[in-house]
Amino acid sequence: MAEWLYEDGIGERRAALVEDGEIFEARIERDGEGPRVGAVVQARLVEAGRGARVTLDLPGEPQATLASVPPGTSIGARLNVEIVRMALSERGRDKPARARITDAAPTDGPDLRARIAASGWPVAEVSQTGPDRLEEAGWSELIDRVRTGHVPFPGGALWVDATPAMLLIDIDGEGDAFVLAKAGGAAALRLVRCCDVGGSIGIDFPSLAGRAERQAIDALVDELLPQPFERTAINGFGFLQIIRRRERPSLIEQVRFDPVATDAALLLRQAERARGVGALQLAARPAVADHIAAHPQWIAELQRRTGRPVELARDVQVKGVGHAQ
């Protein structure tokens, strides 16, 4: 039976829906990502009309866009707004959160723990002092594949690129085109579900000459990808487009567009599980070390959880995540 594995990490909460030792869905929630979907926040109107915007009463005064504003609402008006889509990072640009006006009272909205609990699957807490069930299921391997955009499957591999227009998935391999299309299509759809990819998704299949083969791929999409979504039929060039609801950043966007935060979270996770006595030494490339140092509460929490003083070193020779010992 599937279950969620949930870990309340330092600076990052993470969850994986696991069945038979395999991760089917993976989610992370980081400190500082901005208001969650469902949060109700007080705000001030700074731009009316088409493209209306508000400044949220939150640290840093982030902005959010509004679909509509009641006629006669003046600039500077105080409003309560509900977040319907979180702020997003894309290659070369950031998108502010999207909101709507509401009469509801302010609230933080459901966090990751609450969202997975509402899914109906049981939730098991993962502790840094117990078995590392996330790692046993392949957490680090999944993050590495998301980071590189290279996802192997039997008979081929996916190449994944997150562009401003859409997430593009190219199915690469040799042999019979239809066999490759079925195996690659299944792998691509698993990735979309696993990483909670929303918005526009393009899958580039091998070209299939026969109409029956293309219809079989269309049926495969309908069978393997959970609703709701919309799609085109696969065309003669092998391209199929899917549209899914987009409420928050996908795991792909979180990992690839903020590699420093990704490595910092992985290093802190490693440090929580480091065995030994005396000072807990973390060595990381300067950007990662500086990111951790800018959050002294993370270091304090690491010291509390491990019972060891923490020493953080900037090392230009270190590549990737860094190491803790």
Per residue in 165-192, pLDDT (tens digit) is: 899 999 999 999 999 999 999 999 999 9
The conformational region for residue 127 under phi > 0 = left, psi -120 to 50 = alpha, else beta, is beta
Residues 23 and 48 both lie in one domain: no
What pLDDT does 71 receive? 87
226 and 189 in one domain? yes
Looking only at the bridges linking them, the beta strands covering 156-162 and 150-153 are antiparallel
Residues found in the chain: 325
Looking at the domain assignment, is residue 214 inside a domain?
A: yes
Q: Are residues 166 and 123 in the same domain?
A: no
Residue 303 CA to residue 299 CA, distance in Å, equals 6
Let me know whether 20 and 128 are in one domain.
Answer: yes
Q: Quick check: pTM over 0.85? A: yes
Closest CA to 101 of 64, 50, 76, 57: 64
What is the pLDDT, as a whole number, of residue 5? Answer: 98
In a domain, 107, yes or no: no
Number of domain units in the chain: 4
Looking at residue 72, its pLDDT comes to 85
Cβ atoms of 230 and 201 within 8 Å: the answer is: no
Q: Identify residue 299 by its one-letter amino acid code.
A: I
232 HSE (CA, 13 A, CB side): 13
The reported pLDDT for the residue numbered 266 is 96
Q: How many CA atoms lie within 13 A of 9 on its CB side?
A: 27
Residue 202, domain member (yes or no): yes
Q: Residue ranges of the chain with pLDDT lower than 70?
A: none
Q: Do 51 and 125 lie in a common domain?
A: no
**Beta carbons of 10 and 301 less than 8 angstroms apart:** yes
122 & 22 share domain = yes
Question: Is 212 domain-assigned?
Answer: yes
What is the amino acid identity at position 295?
H
Q: Are 42 and 57 in contact (CB under 8 A)?
A: yes
Q: Are residues 247 and 302 in the same domain?
A: no
pLDDT value for 91? 79
Within 8 A by CB and 6+ apart from 133, the residues are 5, 18, 124, 126
What single letter denotes the amino acid at residue 274?
A
Q: Which residue, among 11, 8, 7, 9, has the nearest Cα to 296 in the 3D structure?
A: 11
* pLDDT value, residue 82: 97
Q: What CATH number has the domain bearing residue 92?
A: 2.40.50
Point out the domain boundary residue: 200, 220, 251: 251
pLDDT value at position 156?
97
Q: Structural domain of residue 308, as residue ranges?
A: 258-324
Distance, in Å, from the CA atom of 258 to the CA atom of 51, rounded to the nearest integer, reads 27
Residue 317 CB contacts under 8 Å (≥ 6 apart), including other chains: none
Phi-psi group of 105: left, alpha or beta (phi > 0 → left; psi -120 to 50 → alpha; rest → beta) = beta
Asked if residue 56 is part of any domain, the answer here is yes
